[in-house]
Amino acid sequence: MEVLGIDIGGTGIKAAIVETKTGELISKRHRIDTPKPATPEAVAKVVKEMVSYFNWKGIVGCCFPTIVVDGKCKHPGNLSEQWVDVKIDKLFKKTCEGLPFYVSNDADLAGLAEIKLGAGKNSNGKVFVITIGTGIGAGLFYNGKLIPNVELGRIYHTDGEIIEKFAADSARKRDGLSLKQWAERFDLFLIHIKTIHTPKLFILAGGISKKFKEFKGHLTVDVPIKVAKFKNNAGIIGAALYAKKKH
């Protein structure tokens, strides 16, 4: 089945048509900057633009970069306060002339793609799929089953500051860190997660996961680590798988 997968991120909104059996992208990816401020109205406008770009008339799966419960946003994340309590799926459906939308947290959906078809296929026990980008997202799977909205990036690091502000890729850019300096920060995050969760496996996703070979030597955490098979397309693919399952 073909589904349009849309990945709404803090800095970019990316989409492609996905064949849900294989997770293959059967169109080119299209990217539009996330509007600033990223209000519901402004983001919905970009989603509509995306749907028109692909001339899409079918079902749509959508990753959203904050806490989502039953299609409803529960936290502003790195977007806007105005999102809290918005039924995201309903808003996008209304904006896109009635197309069915299925929306969930971005890391949970990227994780779904990796666990079903990617680096976490056939894994068991506790597995974290960690997305590294503007924020740090976490999809937790136990014996292949998703436990949603785990929000590891929002653990406090110091002085009331959440850890993604210290260890996300946006922190590397903001503070002008070398890959080694950033990886040392990220390692502290992984070590902390190991202490409180003892996972069997970490799967890293997001743009910087493409550089894993260059930074893995700076990670000391004693847990096996894999790179997401679908790299930064994992969200788009997971969103499509999710929509197909829910429809």
Place of tokens 């197309």: 99
String of contacts with ligand BGC for each residue 182-211, x by CB under 6 A: ------------------------------
Q: Does 226 bind ligand BGC (CB under 6 A)?
A: no
At closest approach, how far in Å is the CB of 167 from ligand BGC? 12
Q: Which two tokens stand for residue 88?
A: 């995201």
Opening angle at CA 194, ends 188 and 200, nearest 5: 135
Q: Binding ligand BGC by CB under 6 A: which of 20, 34, 66, 95?
A: 66
CB-nearer residue toward ligand BGC: 78 or 232: 78
Exposed, middle or buried by CB within 10 Å (0-12, 13-18, 19+), for 210?
middle
Q: Does 131 bind ligand BGC (CB under 6 A)?
A: yes
13 φ/ψ sector (left φ>0, alpha ψ -120 to 50, else beta): beta
Q: Binding ligand BGC by CB under 6 A: which of 14, 154, 157, 185?
A: 154
Contact 184, 178 (CB under 8 A): no
Q: Binding ligand BGC by CB under 6 A: which of 38, 96, 107, 228?
A: 107
**Measured distance CA(194)–CA(127) in Å, rounded:** 11
Q: Does 114 bind ligand BGC (CB under 6 A)?
A: no
Give the CA count within 13 Å in the CB-facing half-sphere of 29.
15
At closest approach, how far in Å is the CB of 98 from ligand BGC? 28
Q: Does 78 bind ligand BGC (CB under 6 A)?
A: yes
Opening angle at CA 146, ends 102 and 169, nearest 5: 80
Q: Site residues (CB under 6 A) for ligand BGC? A: 65-67, 77-78, 105-107, 131, 133, 135, 137, 151, 153-154, 164
